[in-house]
Structure 1
Amino acid sequence: MFALFTANTFAQNTTEQEVIQLSKDKWQWMADKNVDKLTPLFDDKSVFVHMGGSWGKNQEINVIKSGGIHYKKADIHEVSVNIIGNTAILLNKITLLAVVGGNEVTNPFIVTEVYIKENNGWKLGSLSFTKLMTPGQ
C-alpha cells in the first residue's frame, strides 16, 4: 500500500512539475512573440480573459503576433497546481511587465491557467488574469 501511495505521489509531483515548466515556457514564448510554439499549445476552443475583455485563440495569437499586448516579462512569485483527472489548474501570482497600446505597464496578477491532457500532451484551455489591488496580496 505504501509503495502504491509513493508511486501515485511521485507521478502527481512529476505531472505538476511538467505543467509548471510548460507554464514557464509559455510565458517565455509570449515574451518572445513565438506564435509558432503558442499556436499548437492553445486549444482551438481556448478562452483568454484580460482586464480589457475576453476572446478566443485566434484573437490572442493575433494580439501577441501584432504586439497589441507584448508580454515582456512575467516575474513569477508563487505557483500552485491542482490536478483533477486530465485537467490541471495552475495558479500563478505574478508581476507582469507588458506593453499595451504602446504604453509600458506593470501589474500584479493572479493568473489562472487551465490545461487539458490529451494524447499528444497538454493543451491550454483557459488563461485568465485577475488584477490584485496591491502587489503584496
Structure 2
Amino acid sequence: MRISIIGLFLLIVSISLSNAQTKTTPTKAEQEILDLSKAKWLWMADKKLDTLDKLFDDRAVFVHMSGGSDKSREMEVIKSGMIWYKKAEIYSASVNIFGNTAILLNDIDLVAVVGGNEVTNAFMVTEVYIKENGKWKMGSLTFSHLRRPVKLTNNK
C-alpha cells in the first residue's frame, strides 16, 4: 500500500514537471526570433523587398511544394507577385537556439495568391536564422505541407 501511494505521488509530480517544462517563457533571444518571424510574414505580405533583402542571407535557400530556390529567385517571386503571401495565421511557434543558429517551427495556415488563384494550405514552416555581427539573418525557409485540415475560417 505504501509503495502504491509513493508511486502515485511520483507519477503526479513527474506529470506536473513535464507540463511545467512545456509552458516555459521564451528567453530574450527566443522571443527576438519569434518576433522577427512574425514580422517577416507581414513583410512578405506587404512585399517589403528592401527589408526582406536585409533579412535573407545571400546564401539563403527556400523550399516550396514545387521545389527549391535561392534568395534572388525568392525575391523575384515576391516582387512579381507569382506568389503573394497574403496572410499567415500562426497557430503555434517554437524556437531552439544552438550557439549562433536558431531553428523555428511554425504551424500555420497560409493564404496565398499563386498564379492569380487564392489558395489556403496548412504548413509546418521551418525557418533557420544565423546571428552574424549581432543581427539575425534567415538562412533557410522550408514549407512542409500538413495533412491536417485548414483551421482558418476567414481568409480575408
Larger radius of gyration: 2
Pair 1:53-2:64 in alignment: no
Q: Residue 135 of structure 1 aligns to a residue in which SS?
A: coil
* CA positional deviation for 1:53: 1.1
Matches of 2:149 and 2:78, distance apart in 1: 25
Residue 89 of structure 2 corresponds to which residue in structure 1? 75
Matches of 1:59 and 1:106, distance apart in 2: 22
TM-score in terms of structure 2 length: 0.79
* CA positional deviation for 1:79: 0.3
Report 1 or 2 for greater relative contact order, CA contacts < 8 Å, sequence distance ≥ 6: 1
TM-score in terms of structure 1 length: 0.89
Pair 1:95-2:109 in alignment: yes
Q: Residue 47 of structure 2 aligns to a residue in which SS?
A: coil
Amino acid paired to 1:45: R
Residue 143 of structure 2 corresponds to which residue in structure 1? 129
* CA positional deviation for 1:135: 2.8
Residue 77 of structure 2 corresponds to which residue in structure 1? 63
Give the alignment partner of residue 110 of structure 1, picking from 116, 124, 130: 124
Pair 1:43-2:57 in alignment: yes
Ranges of 4+ aligned residues in structure 1 off by more than 3 Å: none
Matches of 2:100 and 2:134, distance apart in 1: 13
Amino acid paired to 2:71: K
> Which structure shows the bigger proportion of residues in strand conformation?
1
* CA positional deviation for 1:120: 4.1
* CA positional deviation for 1:134: 1.6
Pair 1:32-2:32 in alignment: no
- Aligned residues: percent identity? 64
Gaps of 5+ in 1: 1-8
Instruction: Count how many residue pairs are aligned between Structure 1 and Structure 2.
Output: 128
Amino acid paired to 2:87: K
RMSD: 1.7
Matches of 2:47 and 2:80, distance apart in 1: 9
